Structure 1
């Protein structure tokens, strides 16, 4: 067991989500007690969320609470019962387009929910809070690869703005309450149990159903696709290394990714962009049939390319993603066939 593990449970919010389920599995596998929180919202089919939970609930080390994180009284009750020393906060209202269509829900889930977790964590003196930020914070920035030292002052969706707000809120709690907080800017994560609104799931379902796949900007887009097992390894390694003040931080030449407070922000991705057409062609080969391609213009809120500079996370926790797009998509399609009985 890792030296950071203790008898006190770890709370994982968004435990019924894609990354949350995999993080819970990894923590349980190394002997942790895990308390999952999730609201099971209908952003996508709740049956998939319940199926993820079913894979966890047979484990004696796992407990689950169905809670809306914006309900401070309910969250406080769980924290009082559990008395955690670490939290992995992954719950959110995802989706760039969803935030444009329904801004109120996005802000309530992503900002109200986060400040609830921060305050409950502060009251319990957490040793470390790791939370999900997003590559979307880079917004209109076109300098690649994206670095945590780049400006993130020009978001192009409310989802991105909510994630930048999370980083600002986290720093405030690190400053005022000395709460150790680390934000991870996730890039495009895929793999078994993935979200049905993401490219791997959407494209695979359409190919099997002989339906057209929608390819925006006519395929002239690149994404830093990262396999979920690689991501989870990075999350756990980060959790085991609580954020600490940077003694070299200079207020006259401030770094964006660290602070005089116990605060860190990292990119977590694959450090390689894959063209959307290459992604589709790889799926076609794995499935063994061609996709019906519907080429569409660029969507509002989208960006042309994402690629993560992960050097800081490599340096500090030894993060080293290793899964190729062919291997990762192969495992995803294998899971998809089994889950859907294809």
Structure 2
């Protein structure tokens, strides 16, 4: 359904050309949930925004191939892309506390997409917006239509964002950190809601997160990203059982475990060092300066920078 090939995104900064995304390639199949996981700043959101061509035209350069249902999105005119965004490919943006426009009611923001993409009149769009809010479990949906974002809790705002994204029944949903800033109870509710809606609507989902626990619960396949590069792709169960790349191994080793007794006085597992400069990235594997010792990393730097199983 969605194919990304050799995606490159560079930003022109005062410090030089910043290589935010370098050669990213992946497929998203119909009805599948693909997890895009990595540390903050590794290029996950830039990748998502590139798919929808939402990056600023000035100070950014993008190349590569992005195909949706056989069509090259890079070749689309801006009016054509507007017919895709929010209609066939929708996105839940980060930070539910700030992603909604504070000066418009919830109903106005959900109904806007229905007016633009479905050609509904004001009353019909308002009614459909209420149905969209009810579908995502927003209590007392008709009353919520007239409320402003500041009148809703974080969990209710996130449900409103999900309703907005799914109002036009898209084929692909990009969920960018949809549980950020929510407590664990609300996180679990949002994840259960997304899973239910995915099955009900037959969605393909690109799930972006830094939380390895969420990835294990919600995805069929995982792409592990570091410093703008996908280091490893695999089926979720296989990746957790047999991680191949040293970066993936390091990420999993750094996750605290309740079933592991940590010896007193010993430091928790961590990935030492810093992410390399994206203005002047070193040659070879970008993780090599932070890699585990060869005895722990098995193949060490002989691992390919990109692995797929």
TM-score clears 0.5? no
Structure with higher helix content: 1
More contact order relative to length (CA 8 Å, sep ≥ 6): 2
Q: Which has the higher strand share?
A: 2
Q: TM-score under structure 2 normalisation?
A: 0.31
User: Looking at CA atoms only, which structure, 1 or 2, has the larger radius of gyration?
Assistant: 2
What TM-score, normalized to structure 1? 0.29
